[in-house]
């Protein structure tokens, strides 16, 4: 499996992402945002960072980068696509995923471990996950509060498009386990075909026990098992 890790001006998690992917056996290349062709890649990753300095709104300028035409085509052709943190923001700004990411309810930047639960297992990203456990994956953002219209939220719930929710270590989902005020504790969502995933926590930061967790690897291993 080959992955393209897209680099925008201001991206900083590209090397971490390449490291995590290759650790799990996925060949990864960094692709500059001016590229116009992603042919030959099975997986495209929009990693975390501060694309274009997060001017205007997070991801609102990156959505116009030349590479985004190829990113959209890749997804529309059924290719796997994941946006992490700033990448999630870009996918929402581009209309590839529903909803938007707003300032944290605390109005503060938060960098901490979170625990995630998944309730959707019919996607390449989550088919290998265990519904009976939580996954320790850190978050690092100031604008990570997921907001969606009532119609979009109903669609996400009914179609099983909610990929992850913030939870306690034991799996409790509720206001007390919500680190940023996201609606319904949502930490990640799919598109309707479930080949596109956006998530705010950073799986590439949970790839070594030296970092406190290897739980992020479960997502990449799940993807690899589909190849």
Catalytic amino acids? 85, 202, 204
Q: What is the 3-state secondary structure (H, E, C) of the chain?
A: CEEEEEECCCECCHHHHHHHHHHCCCEEEEEECCCCCCCCCCEEEECCECHHHHCCCCCCCHHHCCHHHHHHHHHHCCCEEEEECHHHHHHHHCCCCCCEEECCCCCCCEEEEEEEECCCCCCCCCCCCCCCCCEEEEEEECCCEEECCHHHHHHHHHCCCEEEEEECCCCCCCHHHCCCCCHHHEEEEECCCCCEEEECCCHHHCCEHHHCECCCHHHHHHHHHCC
Token pair recorded at residue 191: 């598109």
Task: Report d(CA 66, CA 64) in Å as an integer.
Answer: 6
Alpha-carbon radius of gyration of the chain: 16
Q: Which residues share a beta bridge with 213?
A: 208
Q: What angle do CA 59, 223, 128 make, to 5 degrees?
A: 115
């Amino acid at each position: 499996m080959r992955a393209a890790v897209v680099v925008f001006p201001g991206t900083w998690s590209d090397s971490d992402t390449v490291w995590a992917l290759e650790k799990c056996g996925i060949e990864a290349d960094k692709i500059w945002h001016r590229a116009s062709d992603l042919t030959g890649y099975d997986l495209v990753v929009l990693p975390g960072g501060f694309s274009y300095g997060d001017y205007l709104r997070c991801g609102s300028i990156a959505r116009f980068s030349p590479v985004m035409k190829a990113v959209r085509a890749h997804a529309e052709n059924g290719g796997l696509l994941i946006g992490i943190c700033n990448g999630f923001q870009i996918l929402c700004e581009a209309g590839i995923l529903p909803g938007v990411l707003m300032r944290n309810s605390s109005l503060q930047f938060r960098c901490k471990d979170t625990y995630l639960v998944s309730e959707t297992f019919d996607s390449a990203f989550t088919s290998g996950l265990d519904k009976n456990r939580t996954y320790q994956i850190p978050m690092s953002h100031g604008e990570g509060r997921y907001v969606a219209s009532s119609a979009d939220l109903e669609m996400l719930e009914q179609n099983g498009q909610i990929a992850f929710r913030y939870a306690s270590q034991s799996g409790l989902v509720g206001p007390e386990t919500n680190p940023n005020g996201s609606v319904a504790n949502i930490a990640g969502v799919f598109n309707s075909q479930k080949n596109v995933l956006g998530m705010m926590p950073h799986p590439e930061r949970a790839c070594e026990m030296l970092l406190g967790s290897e739980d992020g690897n479960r997502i990449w291993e799940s993807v690899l098992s589909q190849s």
